[in-house]
Each structure stands twice: as C-alpha cells, then as structure tokens.
Structure 1
Amino acid sequence: MSQSRIARLEQARAAEPRPVDVPATIATFRQEGNLLWLSGQVAAAENGLVATGTVGADVDLETARRCARQCALNLLAQAEQAVGLDTVESVLRITVYVASTPDFHAQHLVAHAATDVFTEVLGGSAHVRTALGVAALPLGSPVEADAVLVLRDSVSR
C-alpha cells in the first residue's frame, strides 16, 4: 500500500460525482473515545442524487450498487473532514439501507459495493455490516449508509 489513503479516496472518487452538502439539524459525526460515528449519507453527488426511486421497481441492481458506492464515498469524505483518514484504524460497522420492493432480496449485494469502497480506501480487516430493505429513504435516494470507524488514538479536531 504505497498510496496514501487520501490518494486512494481520490482515485476511488475519480469516476464518481462529488458529494454535496445537505443541510441538516443533526451532527454529521460524533466522536466518543476512539470511535467515530458517522451520520447516514444518501447517494448525493455534485449534481444531485445518483438515482431516485425504489430498487426492484425504478432502480436496477447495478444502479443501486453505484448509489451504495457513492454513500460510502460520502462517508469517507465525512471522516476525512472530521478527523482525517490517516487517523482511521479500521471500519467497525456499516449499515446500508436499501429502499426496495418487498420481492427484492439482494440488499446484501447492494451493500457489497459500499464494503468494497471502504476496503479500497482504508484496507484492513473485515467489518460488521447490516443490509436491510426499507420502504423509503430521504430525498427519494435508493440507498443510505452510516458507519462507525475505529480511530488509531483518541483524536479531536
């Protein structure tokens, strides 16, 4: 791993649209000891959402995977802004929510795309993950994800 994490994040983001700031009345992150809790991120990119709708009806699996990838990129950008990626030791947990029809049963395949981004950028060991189907998500995004990261030391910014 000769590339820095920032370089790997930029490489992963090179083909992806940039995230946008979405106004919120909640914290985008919270640090407790060596844990960094990241608020949920929808598939927002520079020009809006990657897609809108429900997976299994309006959105196909590959588009949903692109959305999950964007969610993970947004989470990593959030972590970089909060404490810097070099302070991240590992990913502890990811939760991926997929707005899907009742007969869509591949939420785990959508979530794999988010896992892949974290592995590409941070490397490291396996994390705990939950992938679940829901009726709807904010702004009509097909996917939302949140994460808990383990920091190398108690880092504050």
Structure 2
Amino acid sequence: MTDNATVTLDTSGLPCPAPLLGAKKLVDDLQPGQVLKLISDCQGTADDLFAWARYTGNQVLESKKLADGKTAYLIQRAGSAAATPIPHVTLDMRGVSCPGPIVQAKKLLEGMKAGEVLQLVSDCPGSADDIASWARAGAAELLFSHETGKGIHEFYLRRK
C-alpha cells in the first residue's frame, strides 16, 4: 500500500458506522487531493466507504488487508488536481479470473496507438498485484488505479 496519507485514523474495535463517521469528519477537514488512511476491523466498513465515496465524489484509492486482520483504506478528498485519465478504450473483465484480465489487456494494448489509455476493470482478487507487476516489467505504463467497489479495481494503462 502506498502510504501518502496526510492523516491516519485507527478505528479498531469500533462497530459500524463509527469508522465511516470518523472518516467523514476527518476527510471534510482535508484539502482537495489530500488523503486519509483509515484502519478498521469492522466487516461493514468497506461497503459503507464505497457507498459514501460514490455519493460524495471522494475516492477510496486503495484497500489492503493487514497482517492483524484489520483493513487499511486510503481515502482521497474530492477535488484533486490529478484527475482520473480519460480512457480511449474500456475493458470490463469482471467475472474473469487471472491471468485473463492481463492477457486481454495485452491484446488490446497491442492494437492501440502509443500514448492511448486503456481502462481495465477487474474483480479478480490477484489483479491489483498482477497488473502492478506487469506494468513495472515495462508492458505498459500504469497511470492510476483504485478500488471502485468491494473487490472491484480500475486500472488506467497507457500504451508505450
């Protein structure tokens, strides 16, 4: 998990909706683009956060299970100067297990022009790590990725 958080809030031991309410209070005090790291062990936090983010325009950039069973979420305040890239092509691979999303993304990228952007949507549990490793190996440039719902990731890949 990239930890570029401006502030961290640990709500371990607190039941829902306390993690969401705490996050809302802190995110409201952040400047646009700043990031809150929320740590929670409540099972309902993910659903609460993603629903709230869709409603408010804030973004859950990343979520990661921690070794102690808790989950860390990076939440970015809406209004960031770094806008989500506009894709030339969208590939929705929800329901397809790995390595299917990478195989299909590779095929599509090969047919695209240099500089064009592919938006890949995947719910495969290994896709976040797989896509990041694949991009680091030089296959494509990973511009941006985030979790848009519980277990659903969007990746923005630029053809080199």
TM-score normalized with structure 1 length: 0.31
Structure label with greater radius of gyration:
2
User: Which structure has more RCO (C-alpha within 8 Å, separation ≥ 6)?
Assistant: 1
